[in-house]
Amino acid sequence: TRDKMPPVKGDILVHAVESKEGQPIRMADLSEKLVRAWPMGKDEDGNSIIRKGDPNNILAVYRFPKGQIQAPTNLEATVEGEIVVYSDVCTHAGCSVADDDQRAGAMKCPCHSGQYDPKQGCKVIGGPPPRPLAQLPVRLDGENLVVGDFFLQNPYPFNEAEWEARK
């Protein structure tokens, strides 16, 4: 069903946190603190549907001051080099990655302390993850943050075949 589909080009990013679930994410909501998001698309009847049926669809959204986001982040896939979106599924064993409380602007996985740098393509900067968090291309459409394309890297920790089939 469509709530289980991975992010589709044109999907709107909406808040995932329970108190705001389904509300479109606005520029003003974003900062160097992680904002969790779901992609929201349309069902068969044209009604909005949050794609939260697959936990692999959970996303991490950040906004950094201009100039801070660097390679290997794909800057073309950010909004003006300021807003960047990644899969929030740890590439080690699939836990949802959070902000690193000890280190501003870095991410830390609560399961086995994997660390990632969201300003540098979410490269691994500590712990066991085998590869970066996958970057999701986004763009601004009016006030909405929308999916520009599919993930640039494999977002599925356990499923190379699914990635091979989708990319």
| Residue 160 beta carbon to ligand FES: minimum distance, rounded to whole angstroms | 17
State the Rg of the chain over Cα. 15
Among 26, 112, 131, 166, indicate the residue that binds ligand FES (CB under 6 A). Answer: 112
Q: Select the span of 42-50, 55-63, 65-73, 108-116 touching ligand FES (CB under 6 A).
A: 108-116
Nearer to ligand FES, 40 or 90 (CB): 90
Applying CB under 6 A, among 8, 77, 95, 98 the residue interacting with ligand FES is: 95
**DSSP class per residue in the chain:** -GGGSPP-TTPEEEE-SGGGTTPBP-GGG-SSS-EEEEEEEE-TTS-EEE--SSGGG-EEEEE--TT---TTS-GGGSBTTTEEEEE-B-TTT-PBPEE-TTSTT-EE-TTT--EEETTTTTEEEESS-SSPPPB--EEEETTEEEE-SS-SS---TT-HHHHHHH-
Selected range binding ligand FES among 51-59, 90-98, 117-125, 159-167, rule: CB under 6 A: 90-98
Tokens at residue 84, please?
A: 């960047």
Write the binding mask 18 to 57 for ligand FES: x where contact by CB under 6 A, - elsewhere: ----------------------------------------
Q: Counting contacts by CB under 6 A, is residue 83 touching ligand FES?
A: no
Residue 132 binding ligand FES, by CB under 6 A: no
| Alpha carbon distance 137, 12 (integer Å) | 12
- When binding is defined by CB under 6 A, the residue of 6, 41, 121, 129 that contacts ligand FES is 129
Binding site for ligand FES (CB under 6 A): 90, 92-93, 95, 109, 111-112, 114, 127-129
